[in-house]
Amino acid sequence: EVLDFSPLTAGLSFGVLGVGTVIGGSIAPRVIAATSTRATLIVGGVLQAVATLSLIALGETSSSMWLLLVATFAGGVGNMLVIVGFMVTATTGLPDHEQGMATGLATMTQQIGITMGTPIMSAIAAAHTDIHAGITTAVIVNTAIVLVGTLTTALFLRNRATKDLAAA
């Protein structure tokens, strides 16, 4: 509404995120095979955090559209690197009969994050009388959460050789 986009234009602008996630999901196995799940999680997290934080530079005119498109595309790639790396980490080394349970538990944690994240970020944005300041605060909080997850990965996830596992 702020940029006076038609529904089609708005939908297409957010479609770039979908393209980024498809590409991120497609390249994630190759990134894992070339490096490790740990490195993939860290690179994906940093990419997602940088893309998210860049959104604070968005203005209220259509001249900011290029930043929105680039940031959402890059954020989608980073997010899928993290999701695939997370799933591989959650299931690697488990016996076949435990793979389904591990995948279910890992998926459940993602669903809880999505279910809680959207209303929490919305509440942070709505808590300000100036909506632009509220959105900026929500974006900064979101970026901080991604960075905490990335830092946790860097500090506590042991580096395992996953090249053989990713190839399988």
Residue 44 near residue 157 (C-beta atoms within 8 A): no
Domain ranges of the chain: 7-167
Residue 68 CB coordination number (10 Å) = 19
Under CATH, what is the fold of the domain 7-167?
Growth Hormone; Chain: A; (1.20.1250)
Q: Is 5 exposed, middle or buried (0-12, 13-18, 19+ CB in 10 A)?
A: middle
Under 8 Å CB-to-CB from 132, ≥6 apart: which residues? 60
Statement: residue 31 has pLDDT above 80: yes
Residue 64 near residue 58 (C-beta atoms within 8 A): yes
In this prediction, residue 122 has a pLDDT band, given cuts at 50, 70 and 90, of very high
Statement: residue 131 has pLDDT above 90: no
* 119 phi, psi to nearest 5 deg: -65, -30
Under 8 Å CB-to-CB from 76, ≥6 apart: which residues? 16, 17, 18, 19, 20, 21, 23, 24
Q: Is 147 exposed, middle or buried (0-12, 13-18, 19+ CB in 10 A)?
A: middle
pLDDT at 48: 98
Which residue's entry shows tokens 């509404």? 1
In angstroms, what CA-CA distances link 42 with 39, 117, 162? 5, 20, 15
State pLDDT tens for residues 40-79: 999 999 999 999 999 999 877 777 888 989 999 999 999 9
- Rounded-to-integer distance, Cα 36 and Cα 73, Å: 23
- The pLDDT of 7-26, averaged and rounded, is 91
Statement: residue 103 has pLDDT above 70: yes
- The pLDDT of 35-42, averaged and rounded, is 97
